[in-house]
Amino acid sequence: MLLTSARTTFELLRHLFESLTALNDVLFQSFPIESMFHNLSSLSIVPFTVRKISCYSTLDSLIRRPFYSEIKEFISTALLAVLIYACLRVWTHRRAQRYSKDPKTWPILGSHLEASRNYDRLLDWTTSFFDEDHRTVKMTFLARRSYYTVDPANVEHILKTNFQNYPKGVESHRRSFDLLGNGILNTDGQMWRMHRKLGSLEFSVQKLRHLTSSVYKKNALKLLEDLYISNEGVDAQELLLDMTFCSICEVVFGSAFNAESDCKTEGGSVAVALDNAQEMLTRRYQYPWWKITKFLNIGSERVFREDMTKFSSFLVKMIEKKKTQMAPTVC
């Protein structure tokens, strides 16, 4: 098997060398460099200085036919050497991971090609590498390494036992800032501890359980009633997304929130806009050039900005309503 692979590789390199030689011949024939310099050589003797020593030479003595042959040979040899190195690098790289249970990687690009190919089923693709004996998966994206784990011991170590040693990092904060800001999900250190302390005072486990159970039950019953009355087909995913979003907003904003009017905007559902914004945010981790598309306001960054405008308008409206509701109490 090794002999067959080596024979195939050298056969491919032979064809590449022949193609490069033919390409060089075409390039040097189509670009009349020699005739151009021949016209210039009709000029008189040209003076030039090398390290303050005056010398004289004619262009005819510098521009000779063997000079072009040497250039062609050098270019062909250099390109062939690069191709040989690239082929051997790819071959040895893929051979080294033949029995690896992690995703396939390529030199420099890492797992980027495989992840892009499976982007529409990214979760299923990622979980397909886990099994009983392989609970931690390594992926590389350009120069960045990522680890995914389903091992309970690793999860406890990262999120509880040694949490302070696993910060989100500056790069993750920069990518997620437009959506998460400096909230608890996007901060480290003292800022994170402050958010956690405030959140634990406002949302205890018992309080959250009581609020969510009653709110979700009420909204689920209302949803079923509306579906029964309308007797029409609906998009179940969007419907459940709206119900979940409205239930969370009711828990957070209390009586200031009105599901009938506040969950909709002129541009459509706020829940759908937030869901799309989260999807566009994940693309920043997939595409290293996201800063360029953000600056130019094109592609996924343009969609992300439009969705964030809808969501920001919703938050501003809800904050103003909550302030108005609390104003008499404050006075």
Residue 156's pLDDT is: 94
**Rounded Cα–Cα distance for residues 84 and 20 (Å):** 13
Using DSSP, how many helices (H) and how many strands (E) does the chain show?
15, 6
Span 246-270, pLDDT tens digits: 888 887 777 667 766 666 655 567 8
Residue 34's pLDDT is: 46
Report percent pLDDT > 90 for the chain: 15
Mean of pLDDT values over 316-320: 87
Span 38-55, pLDDT tens digits: 444 444 434 444 443 344
Reduced to 3 states (helix: H, G, I; strand: E, B; else coil), residue 18 is helix
308 or 218: which leads in pLDDT: 308
- Look at residue 203 and tell me whether its pLDDT is greater than 50: yes
Long-range contacts of residues 317-325, Cβ cutoff 8 Å, at least 24 apart: 317/262, 318/249, 318/253, 318/256, 318/257, 318/262, 321/253, 321/256, 321/257, 322/253, 322/254, 322/256, 325/255, 325/256
Q: Structural domain boundaries of the chain?
A: 2-96, 112-166, 203-330
Give the DSSP letter of residue 31.
S
Residue 199's pLDDT is: 79
**Rounded Cα–Cα distance for residues 127 and 133 (Å):** 13
Span 147-202, pLDDT tens digits: 999 999 999 999 889 988 988 888 889 999 999 999 888 999 889 889 888 877 77
Reduced to 3 states (helix: H, G, I; strand: E, B; else coil), residue 183 is coil
Q: Which residues contact 131 (CB under 8 A, 6 or more apart)?
A: 101
**Rounded Cα–Cα distance for residues 194 and 326 (Å):** 24
- Look at residue 106 and tell me whether its pLDDT is greater than 90: no
- Look at residue 30 and tell me whether its pLDDT is greater than 50: no
- Look at residue 13 and tell me whether its pLDDT is greater than 70: no
Residue 268's pLDDT is: 62
Q: Which residues contact 302 (CB under 8 A, 6 or more apart)?
A: 293
Reduced to 3 states (helix: H, G, I; strand: E, B; else coil), residue 246 is helix
How much is the mean pLDDT over the chain? 76
pLDDT band, very low/low/confident/very high, at 69 (cuts 50, 70, 90) = confident
Q: Tell me if 172 sits within 8 A of 141, measured CB to CB.
A: no
pLDDT band, very low/low/confident/very high, at 209 (cuts 50, 70, 90) = confident
**Rounded Cα–Cα distance for residues 249 and 219 (Å):** 12
Give the DSSP letter of residue 157.
I
Q: Tell me if 110 sits within 8 A of 142, measured CB to CB.
A: yes
pLDDT band, very low/low/confident/very high, at 213 (cuts 50, 70, 90) = confident
Span 81-103, pLDDT tens digits: 888 888 888 888 778 777 788 88
Span 214-246, pLDDT tens digits: 888 888 888 888 888 888 887 888 788 888 888
**Rounded Cα–Cα distance for residues 128 and 111 (Å):** 15
Residue 243's pLDDT is: 81
| φ/ψ of residue 298, rounded to 5 | -135, 165
